[in-house]
Amino acid sequence: MTTPSPDVRAALPDGLRRPAMAVVGVAIAVFGVLAARYAGDRRAGRVDWHAENVVDSLGGAHSWVFGRLTTFGSPPFVVIAAVVLAGVCLALGRRRLAVLAIVGPGLTGLATTFLKPTIGRTIEGGFAFPSGHTGGATSIALVVALLLVSLLKPGRRLSMALVGTVTLVAGGTIGASMVVVGSHYPTDTLGGFCAAVAIVLSCALLLERLAAVHARRRTASS
C-alpha cells in the first residue's frame, strides 16, 4: 500500500500558505475596521446605501430566487454540508481537509453567533453583524475549493484563482441574497465573509503546522 504524498494529505498546499497568511491578515483587518465602525449602530451606513442600491437594481425583480438561495447559508444546511463534505474528504484520503470541513464552518458559526451581541449592530431589532449565513456559505465553499485544488493540482496561480473565485461567488451570492431579503446590511455580509475566510484559512494553516511538528517528532524518535 503506497503512502499518500505530503501535498495530497495537506489541507493547504505549500504554495498557498504564504498567500493564505496575507489573506488572513487582510480579512482580520477589514473585519476589525467594520466591527469598530458599526458597533452599536442601528442604521445603514453610506457604503451600505450605495451597495444596497446596486444589489436591489440587480436582484430586486427576482427577490424570490434570492430568498430561496439564503437556505444555502442557513445553519441546518451548513451542518449537513460540512458532515457530507468531511465524509467525501475521508473517502478521498484527505483527512486534514475532513477535519477542516468540520472545524472551519463550526468555528465560523460559533464566532458569528457570539460576536453579534458583542458588536451590537442591529437591523429591525435583530443583531446583524457579522452575517452568519454569509459566513457559513463562505466557509463551506472555501473547503470545497481547497478540495478541488487537492484533486486537480492546477499549480499555484490557478489554485489561487480557483480558491478565490469559488469563495467569492458563493459568499457573494449568499451575501447579496441576505441583503435582498432585508436580513442584513451589505457590510454585515462582508463581515461574515471576512470572518469565514480568516477562520478557515487560519485553521488550515494550524493543521499544517501541527502536521509538520508531528512529522519532526516522529522522525526524531525513529
pLDDT (tens digit per residue) in 18-73: 999 999 999 999 999 999 999 999 888 888 888 877 776 665 556 778 888 999 99
pLDDT at 113 over 70: yes
**Would you say residue 188 has pLDDT above 80?**
yes
Residue 8 has pLDDT above 50, yes or no: yes
pLDDT band at 118 (very low <50, low <70, confident <90, very high): very high
Confidence of residue 204 (pLDDT cuts 50, 70, 90): very high
Residue with cell 463581515: 191
Q: Which residue has the higher pLDDT, 183 or 8?
A: 183
Residue 3: pLDDT band with limits 50, 70, 90: very low
What mean pLDDT comes out for the span 191-200? 98
Would you call the peptide bond into 13 cis, given omega within 30 degrees of 0 as the criterion? no
Burial of 31 (0-12, 13-18, 19+ CB in 10 A): buried
Q: For the chain, give the DSSP string.
A: -PPPPHHHH-SS-HHHHHHHHHHHHHHHHHHHHHHHHHTT--S--HHHHHHHHHHHHHHGGGHHHHHHHGGGGSHHHHHHHHHHHHHHHHHTT-HHHHHHHHHHHHHHHHHHHHHHHHH--EETTEE-SS-HHHHHHHHHHHHHHHHHHHHH---HHHHHHHHHHHHHHHHHHHHHHHHHTTS--HHHHHHHHHHHHHHHHHHHHHHHHHHHHHHHHHHHH-
Residues 121-153 have pLDDT tens digits of 999 889 999 999 999 999 999 999 999 999 999
pLDDT of the residue at 1: 39
